[in-house]
Chains A and B, each alone.
Chain A
């Protein structure tokens, strides 16, 4: 690789690497689809943070969890 701007060299390193891939292209397609499903579909629509959604501050979250933990009377755990 020719010496030159470090950022350009890094860019070209990755660019040429991806360009010359054989089996890798199919894999990258799978990776991108997978990441899309995980971070766009699953995270946004199915996996919102339960406490973040309900409460704004850490104090509120802590109070809620303590309330949960100190009222365990009728848990069906037998």
Chain B
């Protein structure tokens, strides 16, 4: 029975999923971004016929191949975990996940088995233009592959376009387009892929900077830096735009996450955006402590970004737990926010109604069935709250969410500075002399991965305690398996993924040292 689930099982299951997802995400963004950089380079080769561009393309293609080979299928583990460790969740999401993941699987299979093969094996075997087309299709295909995963993730953050079937306990898709075009999912996709373009640009610049420091492959390095810096700069501008779109969606759909991202306990009108700050350690609602040890903020910016109104009220953690503040619903009508306790009570009504419905169905009592369904449907919106007892359990880990968010944003702006600086100096012909900048560019490579992972930590830690926003909490999503079994696989994964990461770094570094060469990959 579910009442026997202990927190150790939930914690280990979460830790295992987080570990797998974060390791998987070490490989993915480089693939998403570098494929476009390679496609730009090959386009220049086909346009100009300059063999140096072919050499450059093949070099980066080899590094892409290493990353792709080591990273491929690491995401499958997440699907294994859904079936084994998160069976309640997997059943509850029904075909909402099945459809996008199936499309992703088919798309990935065909792309990987055909176009990547042409990309690597097709030099001199297919025409230049067909080879170029394959390279572009790999870039577009891998990004479209990410689209389906992120649409599925977006649905978890803001479930739309479905109907819960009380007979099967599954969500059924009512409107594919509503799921597919969910603003949360679309913004998440655009923000994720653009952040991956930035990461790949930082990677290409970092490796090229190493060549310049070593006095090797000058032409390759400078040409690569130009392509990557321009791509990185343009992507960064789009990243700011998509980041704004994502934050706006968070403000509308997941206000608690926004409050945690900003460490905002007490809401206010005309709330400022924290530029630099430190949330008070151990801070809890109504404990009389200030929200921050110190802060530097841009006045009114959080209200403006979150609600497109510089004087709008931004609810803090306390406001969301206690309710009572006014907000505009999706129809533009002013509503008074419910407290977490009221939502918990409504959630419990929904759960009890579902239970009554099932019992009534067994004895064929149509009247009770109909009555129960009415209560269930009226309260289903807060179904997940029924699993909670303490209103404060809707608060995610504020310090982790706050710092991850601010690290991500700060690094994002730092990358813009790096792109701009290398572009200026490369066009002035002085980049090779700027040793400090070259060293900085190399150090920046791991920072790009930290920024990317921080983004996912904001998204996933910030939405706790939910696996599906408001409908299913993490604690009710897990399978009743032995916590020690999860522990074993956690350490097993740590071992396997760390080995893969070491293999990737070792092969990658070796290949970079070898540098570009003619011949196969």
Contacts and interface: CB of A to CB of B under 8 A. Distances in A.
B287 interface: no
Nearest to B353: A70
A3 interface: no
B66 A69 contact: no
Interface string A1-32: 10000000000011011101111101110110
Interface in B146-202: 166-170
Contacts of B481: 50
By Cβ-Cβ distance, the 9 closest A-B pairs, closest first, are: A17-B121, A70-B355, A27-B69, A47-B80, A50-B87, A49-B83, A74-B3, A78-B390, A50-B479
Contacts of B87: 49-51, 65
Interface of B: 1-3, 5-7, 62, 65-66, 69-70, 72-73, 76-77, 80-81, 83-85, 87-88, 90-92, 117, 120-122, 125, 166-170, 351-352, 354-355, 358, 386-390, 393, 465, 473, 475-476, 479-481, 485, 488-489, 492, 496, 500, 503, 507, 511, 519-521
Contacts of A50: 83-85, 87, 479, 481
A43 B80 contact: yes
A65 B2 CA distance: 10
A64 B168 CA distance: 10
B360 to A, nearest CB: 13
A56 interface: no
A62 B167 contact: yes
B390 to A, nearest CB: 4
B91 A61 contact: yes
Nearest to B91: A65
Given A14-B121, A35-B73, A77-B388, 14 more contacts: A1-B125, A17-B117, A20-B519, A23-B66, A42-B80, A50-B84, A50-B481, A61-B91, A65-B87, A65-B88, A70-B358, A71-B1, A77-B393, A77-B473
Interface of B, helix, strand, loop or mixed by DSSP:
helix
A31 B69 contact: yes
Contacts of B66: 23, 27
Contact of A66 (B70, B358, B479): B358
Given A49-B84, A77-B393, A72 B489 contact: no
A78 B66 CA distance: 45
A24 B168 contact: no
Contacts of A27: 65-66, 69-70, 507
Contact of B169 (A35, A69, A77): A69
B358 A51 contact: no
A40 interface: no
Contact of B511 (A18, A23, A34, A46): A23
Contacts of B388: 77
Interface of A: 1, 13-14, 16-18, 20-24, 26-28, 30-31, 34-35, 37-38, 42-43, 46-52, 58-59, 61-63, 65-78
A47 to B, nearest CB: 4
Contacts of B65: 23-24, 27
Contacts of B91: 51, 61-62, 65
Contact of B92 (A16, A35, A42, A65): A65
Contacts of B88: 65, 68-69
Contact of B125 (A13, A28, A66): A13
Contacts of A73: 3
B83 A68 contact: no
A76 B6 contact: yes
B80 to A, nearest CB: 4
A34 B495 CA distance: 12
7 contacts: A20-B519, A27-B69, A31-B72, A42-B492, A46-B84, A66-B358, A73-B3
Given A30-B69, A38-B76, A65-B88, A78 B521 contact: no
B2 A72 contact: yes
